[in-house]
Amino acid sequence: MWAYILRRLLLMIPVLILVSMIAFSILLLLPGDPALAILGPERARDTVAYQALREELGLNRSIPVQYLSWVSKMLVGDFGNSAHYQQPVTLLIGQSIGPTVQLAVTALLIALLIAIPIGVMSAVRPGSWLDLLGTTLALSGVAIPNFLLGILMIMLFSLVLRLLPVGGYVPFTQNPVESMRLMLMPAVALGLGLAAVLMRQIRSAMLEVMNQDYVTTARAKGLAGRHVVLRHALKNALIPVITVVGVQIGRLMGGTVVIETIFSVPGMGKLAVASIFFRDFPVVQVEVLLIGTAILFSNLVTDLLYGVLDPRVRYD
């Protein structure tokens, strides 16, 4: 298996190079002079500040030299400084990555807690009212955008019922209860769309597995229905579900951009929106590169989990 992991890591290198080119090209796609866009119309009149920013961004050099210089600094951990916040990009990313990871993990857990039970019950009793309810919830989760769901939840649970705070963030290590209260609505708004996709996938996989010969044999041996579903059918039905989860990680990371902005969560998504607004390209470039790297590693973990759920899968 270690040889397989090493081979996959080596295959990631060309993809990361392509992602780095895309991230670097963000600066070049801006119409006009990026330095003028970052400084603004008033500060741009200061020729000293303008020339200093061009020197800092390396705009006075050729594009290949700029890219190679940027990549070489990245490889040694030098992510540069934020043009707007006047702080190291490493510090800004370090402060914002915790809330984003907590939001994404909580949303994923909520999605699994909703999708697995409803998907299994829908498959065990196809055509029943449980199946109809699960189908309705799945279609609703796919149809309603997460930003609209987030706004509706704020109006209902914060403004009308006054059960949950409108937004904000408290680290889990500082106050676990308050942290989960603040994280509940954004995590649900982000996770329901994923839950809808997983719910339909689990139902389809369970319906296929329940007709397999080994499930029929388990029932013929007199095993309890719950034992057959949980120990035999569900484990094998989760294999295609893991693939969907791995694919949806990118969508989950993209959704944090909108959700963190709506609920004022100081994560990487909100930082990205602010950096785009202020034309703070050093921060945007690093965030694009980090998100691309996270998606690649999530796909690797997804492939490795196949071997955990299915003993027939071997990595040579």
The string of pLDDT tens digits covering residues 12-33 is: 889 888 888 888 887 667 666 6
What is the spatial distance between Cα 220 and Cα 69, in angstroms, rounded to a whole number?
Answer: 67
What pLDDT is recorded for position 155? 92
* Cα 189–chain centre separation: 13
pTM equals 0.83
> Token match 């796909």: residue?
299
Share of residues in the chain with pLDDT > 70 (%): 88
Does residue 185 have a pLDDT over 90? yes
Fold of 95-309: MetI-like fold (1.10.3720)
Does residue 146 have a pLDDT over 80? yes
CA nearest to 218, candidates 231, 228, 206, 209? 228
What pLDDT is recorded for position 245? 81
The backbone torsions φ and ψ at residue 88, rounded to the nearest 5 degrees and listed phi first, read -60, 140
What pLDDT is recorded for position 47? 75
The enclosing H or E element of 48 equals helix 47-57
Confidence of residue 75 (pLDDT cuts 50, 70, 90): confident
Integer-rounded Cα Rg, in Å, for the chain is 24
CA nearest to 100, candidates 274, 219, 258? 258
Least confident of 116-120, 132-136, 246-250: 246-250
Question: 63: which residues sit within 8 A by CB, 6+ positions away?
Answer: 28
The backbone torsions φ and ψ at residue 160, rounded to the nearest 5 degrees and listed phi first, read -90, -60
Q: Give per-residue pLDDT as tens, 237-270.
A: 777 788 778 777 777 777 788 898 899 889 888 8
Q: Which two tokens stand for residue 209?
A: 């597995």
Does residue 51 have a pLDDT over 80? no
Does residue 274 have a pLDDT over 80? yes
Helix (H, G, I), strand (E, B) or coil at 81: strand
Domain boundaries, the chain: 2-75, 95-309
Confidence of residue 106 (pLDDT cuts 50, 70, 90): very high
* Cβ atoms of residues 285 and 20 within 8 Å: no
What is the spatial distance between Cα 145 and Cα 110, in angstroms, rounded to a whole number?
Answer: 17
Confidence of residue 309 (pLDDT cuts 50, 70, 90): low
What is the spatial distance between Cα 62 and Cα 97, in angstroms, rounded to a whole number?
Answer: 33
